[in-house]
Amino acid sequence: MALAVLLCAALVTGLLAFATGNGWALWVVGAHGVAGLAIVLIIPWKSTVVRRGMGRSRPGRGASVLLAAMTFVALTSGFMFSTGLVLRYGPLNAMQVHVGSAVVAIAVALVHVWQRPVRPRAVDLERRNLLRAGALAGTAIAAYAGLEGAMRLLRLPGERRRDTGSHERGSFDPAAMPVVSWFDDKIPNVDGWLLTVKAGGGLRTWTIAELGEFADHVTATLDCTSGWYATQEWTGVRIDRLLGTLAGESILVTSATGYRRRYPIGDAPRLLLATGVGGNPLSPGHGAPARLVAPGRRGFWWVKWVTEISVEERPWWVQAPFPLT
Ligand SMILES: Nc1nc2c(c(=O)[nH]1)N[C@H]1C(S)=C(S)[C@@H](COP(=O)(O)O)O[C@H]1N2
Ligand SMILES: [Mo]
């Protein structure tokens, strides 16, 4: 029962960690780490149950073994990522292995709980068990703090990770910054590129040269959920200048590839449509001729190869929490 609760806690905090750019990141990511360590701490108790179960042959053993294996992979890849000890596994990065194994583990856990049901009982909430849960949480928090301290003592790369858990890659050196897609977007052909802006019932198009007349700039950190971040000096034009009117609920920003995200209208002054980075024009991989810079938001909000910006009546939260393509 405790494992089921902890698995849910790990899932929820993991999803939240992907959605959080700043502010709460330290607490959300910390809670995720504590949930993982609590799972490790109850392995001795679970292994007694496992040993008993393995003696009998029952259906569902395959699922049990797969669940154990995937949990092991998710825990170790998470630990290796946090400490910065292993950030790649052949063609995959640490976060792909971590999230991939966790998704399989969650799916198999549902099968496992269905095959080996444990009914919640009133005694689960008795004083003794609540004290045990508290002791487990306290020990896991202490273990997390201990690991942070050990990372500092041993000078592991993890000591320098950001609140989101991301490791630094290529700050103030755009050429060294990774080129990343959320899923499978490829660099599109942007010959004859024009930006279409729809706001207040009007429509206007902008050429690259016209956008180049603006000189807004911001120093902002791109923090990709795949586990790296880079701070750069971005130049371009503030979205509120392009829109003119802010009469509407949300701003929809669309890429030449069809990739799109929707933002609250109040974000307009903070959103920059960047045409340059580090004093140079954007490279094709980083979104040329224009890409969004969304300070404080995770990388998947930083739409590249932007072709259209429109103000709409639909609230910003009417969209999937994470891009679907
Ligand atoms: N059109 C488009 N924009 C996109 C993406 C994408 O797949 N398609 N990926 C996003 C993600 S997940 C990240 S982390 C950043 C990466 O930007 P970079 O390649 O300049 O480092 O772009 C974002 N913008
Ligand atoms: Mo990303």
Ligand 2 centre distance from Cα of residue 181 (Å): 6
In short, whether 299's Cβ falls inside 6 Å of ligand 1 is yes
Report in angstroms the alpha-carbon separations of 85 from 95, 99, 169: 13, 17, 15
Ligand 1 centre distance from Cα of residue 244 (Å): 27
In CATH, which of 3.40.50.10490, 3.90.420.10, 2.40.340.10, 3.30.200.20 is domain 174-312? 3.90.420.10
- Range 66-69 contact pairs with CB under 8 angstroms and sequence separation of 24 or more: 66/104, 66/108, 67/105, 67/108, 67/109, 67/112
Report in angstroms the alpha-carbon separations of 264 from 176, 189, 252, 305: 32, 29, 9, 20
Ligand 1 centre distance from Cα of residue 284 (Å): 12
Check: CB of residue 311 under 8 Å from CB of residue 199: yes
Check: CB of residue 251 under 8 Å from CB of residue 263: yes
- CA of 292, closest atom in ligand 1: 24
In short, whether 182's Cβ falls inside 6 Å of ligand 1 is yes
Mutation to probe ligand 1, out of 184, 224, 272, 308 (largest number of atoms < 8 A from CB): 224
State yes or no: pLDDT of 123 exceeds 90: no
State yes or no: pLDDT of 121 exceeds 90: no
Check: CB of residue 195 under 8 Å from CB of residue 206: yes
State yes or no: pLDDT of 215 exceeds 90: yes
State yes or no: pLDDT of 22 exceeds 80: no
Q: Average the pLDDT over 232-245 and give the result.
A: 96
Closest ligand by atom to 190 CA? 1
- CA of 179, closest atom in ligand 1: 19
For the segment 155-189, what is each residue's pLDDT rounded down to a tens digit? Answer: 999 999 999 999 999 999 999 999 999 999 999 99
Give 325's pLDDT tier (boundaries 50, 70, 90): confident
DSSP state of 306: E
State yes or no: pLDDT of 20 exceeds 90: no
Report in angstroms the alpha-carbon separations of 248 from 5, 204, 253, 264, 306: 42, 17, 14, 9, 20
In short, whether 168's Cβ falls inside 6 Å of ligand 1 is no
In short, whether 323's Cβ falls inside 6 Å of ligand 1 is no
Ligand 2 centre distance from Cα of residue 305 (Å): 15
pLDDT at 100: 97
Give 196's pLDDT tier (boundaries 50, 70, 90): very high
Give 124's pLDDT tier (boundaries 50, 70, 90): confident
Amino acid at 61: R
- CA of 223, closest atom in ligand 1: 14
Q: Which of 6, 105, 118 is nearest to 65 (CA)?
A: 105
Percent of the chain with pLDDT over 90: 88
Residue 121 corresponds to which tokens in the numbers above?
């009982």
Residue 25 corresponds to which tokens in the numbers above?
């990141």
In short, whether 234's Cβ falls inside 6 Å of ligand 1 is no
**What's the whole-model pTM score?**
0.93
Which residue has a Cα nearest atom 5 of ligand 1?
181
- CA of 287, closest atom in ligand 1: 20
List strand residue ranges (DSSP E) for the chain, in order: 88-89, 92-93, 167-168, 195-199, 202-206, 216-224, 228-238, 250-255, 260-264, 272-277, 280-281, 291-293, 306-312
Sequence ranges of the domains in the chain: 2-165, 174-312
In short, whether 170's Cβ falls inside 6 Å of ligand 1 is no
pLDDT at 117: 87
- CA of 184, closest atom in ligand 1: 7
For the segment 45-68, what is each residue's pLDDT rounded down to a tens digit? Answer: 999 989 988 888 788 889 999 999
